[in-house]
Amino acid sequence: MSALPASAAVGVIGAGTMGAGIAQVAAQAGHPVLLYDAAEGAAERGRAGIKAALDRRVAKGRLAAADADAVLARIALAGRPEDLAPARLVIEAVVERLDVKQAVLGRVEAAAGDEIILASNTSSLSITAIAAGLRRPRRLVGMHFFNPAPVMELVEVVSGAATDPGVAATVHATAAAWGKAPVHARSTPGFIVNRVARPFYAEALRVVQEGAADPATVDAVMTECGGFRMGPFALMDLIGHDVNYAVTASVFAAFHHDRRYAPSLVQKELVEAGWLGRKSGRGFYSYAEGASAPPPATAPAAPPPGAVVVHGATPLDERIAASGLAPDRAAGDGAIRVDGVLLRPSDGRMATEVAAAQGCADVAVYDLALDMAGARRIAVAVAEQSAPGTAAKAAGFFQGLGLDVSPVADTPGLIVTRTVAALANEAAEAVLHGVATPADIDLAMTKGVNYPRGPLAWAEEIGLAKLLAVLENLFAATRDERYRPSLLLRRKALGGTRFHG
Ligand code: NAI
């Protein structure tokens, strides 16, 4: 299916944050744009905002002044929804209310010919439900841009029950022609990104709720070890807790309160306190004048290790080789013994459970890294029954490998391990339910929320059988539905097949 030609007019309803951004994108791609907003003066303000954005690009030398003028000249303001009828594609970005969206799209539809394509930028309403209020439901598709629309590449092209596949294909091709990275998604709660990303926040909130680590430590581990651009707490503070909590609550409700998506009481309390994040000057962190970022928990320098024995291949091998440490080698399943302390990568069990199973008290588990050779920090937990000095021995070993050590309480799956397992599990569940393909889910998560790797590709790199074991161990330890392994992940892990060809 081919893209709409640049000569085809594009209508945009709603000239707020998203509508103005979308109008700019379409105009930059060469389309004549008709911009309509119901509020007095809002369309003019939207156009003025676009002009300011283009001027900034001109000032930075990224756009020629003549091109900026041409983009702006392509954006005409419309006085009524009916005025958008000549457009080939009309995208609505009005308030997030089903009745309002249906009413305004209905007015465009009534004035337009059969072939007009209607699109909604909704982030939480069902495309199927919006379409049900229209005369030609097959002509409606979701076109979910991310904020800021001119910058963010991802566009989720969302098909409802009635959406004509040809309409979705045309919108997909058109978004690609606009320089975007479109993905196909089926209209299900949260589509791809707002669903698959839930565990990124939920696991971090859980770690803090359990008292296993504080927000600064979680953020440091997620960025310096997990390779995420931003830690979950810094990101929630940026998004705003009211917005982030509302998205979680809406996904939870839309899934008929499946406990897997349950919102966090920790976040709810912030919302109740009005500590909404950066915008209110306080969230998990303070943004008051002169406030400094709290430091992550970091173990003090400990003596270097004496006897180190590495049993088989471990995630630390490259680092050990680079450190100049010359440990004894023995056969085994990836354990390391440091002066009598047993170190293992997290498999979703608490260090205490590992110690109990192995009949060995002095046990420490360490977290998953995106790239262990390049990591700067590692989260480490020691078993309840371990002798005093166990944590220091573990810390001395990791410090010798050039890693800062964040001691965390003995929680299953530490910080990165449980987060990546839960993200991949949610992605697998979305594939199982036909929401999107594995390739589109991974693309959506790297483009839409900047994850360093798509969750399914990451899962394959870890090994699906290992990942399944992490989830099963987390589930066994917590009996929490959020770790219920997806049937598809189980099939692929046990069957030895892959998500990506
Ligand atoms: P906004 O509040 O900045 O803009 C909404 C605009 O719609 C306002 O200018 C308002 O006057 C106008 N409007 C309201 N009712 C109207 C009607 N009946 N006809 C014409 N115009 C009408 O909101 P924002 O943030 O741009 O969101 C718009 C839509 O985009 C919502 O559906 C939202 O869920 C979705 N969205 C928002 C994102 C964000 O980060 N803000 C990201 C992705 C989607």
Provide the 3-class DSSP secondary structure of residue 277. strand
Among candidate residues 172, 103, 173, the one with its CA nearest the CA of residue 142: 172
Q: What is the pTM of this model?
A: 0.96
Whether the upstream peptide bond of residue 148 has omega within 30° of 0, thus cis, is yes
What digits encode the pLDDT tens for the residues 37-47? 999 999 999 99
Measured in Å, residue 4 CA sits from the centre of ligand 1 at: 24
Residue 274 CA to residue 283 CA, distance in Å, equals: 8
Residue 254 CA to residue 257 CA, distance in Å, equals: 7
Percentage of the chain modeled with pLDDT above 70: 100
Residue 215 CA to residue 192 CA, distance in Å, equals: 26
DSSP annotation of 7: T
| pLDDT band for position 77 (cuts 50, 70, 90) | very high
Would you state the structure tokens that stand for residue 388, as one six-digit string? 């005093």
Candidate of 45, 83, 123, 192 to mutate for ligand 1, largest count of ligand atoms within 8 Å of Cβ: 123
| pLDDT band for position 75 (cuts 50, 70, 90) | very high
Angle 95-97-98 from CA coordinates, rounded to 5°: 135
486 Cβ contact partners less than 8 Å away, ≥ 6 residues apart: 425, 426, 428, 429, 432
Measured in Å, residue 351 CA sits from the centre of ligand 1 at: 48
Q: What is the mean pLDDT of residues 272-290?
A: 97
Radius of gyration of the chain (CA): 26
| pLDDT band for position 83 (cuts 50, 70, 90) | very high
What digits encode the pLDDT tens for the residues 444-480? 999 999 999 999 999 999 999 999 999 999 999 999 9
Catalytic site includes residue 123: yes
Q: What is the mean pLDDT of residues 278-306?
A: 96
Q: Whose C-alpha lies nearest to ligand 1, atom 19?
A: 38
User: CA-CA distances (angstroms) from residue 5 to 84, 120, 159, 275?
Assistant: 17, 20, 22, 47
Question: Is residue 219 within 8 Å of 454, Cβ to Cβ?
Answer: no
User: CA-CA distances (angstroms) from residue 271 to 135, 243, 253, 284?
Assistant: 40, 9, 18, 11
Residue 227 CA to residue 416 CA, distance in Å, equals: 9
Range list of H helices, 382-454: 390-400, 416-432, 438-448
| pLDDT band for position 375 (cuts 50, 70, 90) | very high
DSSP annotation of 301: P
Measured in Å, residue 87 CA sits from the centre of ligand 1 at: 20
User: CA-CA distances (angstroms) from residue 307 to 197, 265, 337, 393, 405?
Assistant: 42, 45, 8, 11, 20
| Active-site option among 144, 172, 184, 241 | 144
- Residue 480 gets the label, from left (phi > 0), alpha (psi -120 to 50) or beta, of beta
Q: Is the pLDDT of residue 1 over 80?
A: no
| Residue 308, strand partner residues | 338
DSSP annotation of 295: P
Q: Across the chain, what does the average pLDDT equal?
A: 97
Residue 181 CA to residue 167 CA, distance in Å, equals: 17
Axis-axis angle for helices 198-209, 265-273 (nearest 10): 90
Measured in Å, residue 46 CA sits from the centre of ligand 1 at: 11
Range list of H helices, 112-240: 127-132, 165-177, 193-196, 198-209, 215-224, 232-239
pLDDT value of position 128: 98
| Active-site option among 120, 123, 244, 346 | 123
Residue 359 CA to residue 357 CA, distance in Å, equals: 6
Measured in Å, residue 12 CA sits from the centre of ligand 1 at: 11
Residue 333 CA to residue 320 CA, distance in Å, equals: 17
Q: Whose C-alpha lies nearest to ligand 1, atom 39?
A: 147
Residue 366 CA to residue 376 CA, distance in Å, equals: 13
pLDDT value of position 304: 94
Question: Is residue 471 within 8 Å of 493, Cβ to Cβ?
Answer: no
Q: Whose C-alpha lies nearest to ligand 1, atom 28?
A: 93
| 11 membership: H or E segment, kind and range | strand 10-13
Cβ < 6 A, ligand 1 pocket = 13-19, 37-39, 42, 93-96, 100, 104, 121-123, 145-147
Catalytic site includes residue 144: yes
Would you state the structure tokens that stand for residue 337, as one six-digit string? 């013994």
Catalytic site includes residue 124: no
| Residue 423, strand partner residues | none
Question: Is residue 104 within 8 Å of 79, Cβ to Cβ?
Answer: no
Residue 429 CA to residue 310 CA, distance in Å, equals: 37
Q: Is the pLDDT of residue 209 over 80?
A: yes
Q: What is the mean pLDDT of residues 172-192?
A: 98
Closest ligand 1 atom, residue 46 Cα:
9
Residue 338 CA to residue 362 CA, distance in Å, equals: 10
Measured in Å, residue 347 CA sits from the centre of ligand 1 at: 44
| pLDDT band for position 489 (cuts 50, 70, 90) | very high
| pLDDT band for position 399 (cuts 50, 70, 90) | very high
| pLDDT band for position 98 (cuts 50, 70, 90) | very high
| 308 membership: H or E segment, kind and range | strand 308-311
Q: Whose C-alpha lies nearest to ligand 1, atom 11?
A: 39
Question: Is residue 267 within 8 Å of 209, Cβ to Cβ?
Answer: no
Q: Whose C-alpha lies nearest to ligand 1, atom 17?
A: 38
Candidate of 121, 122, 127, 145 to mutate for ligand 1, largest count of ligand atoms within 8 Å of Cβ: 121
Q: Is the pLDDT of residue 330 over 90?
A: yes
119 Cβ contact partners less than 8 Å away, ≥ 6 residues apart: 89, 90, 91, 92, 140, 141, 142, 143, 171
| 317 membership: H or E segment, kind and range | helix 317-323
Closest ligand 1 atom, residue 101 Cα:
18
Q: Is the pLDDT of residue 73 over 90?
A: yes
| Active-site option among 120, 159, 194, 346 | 194
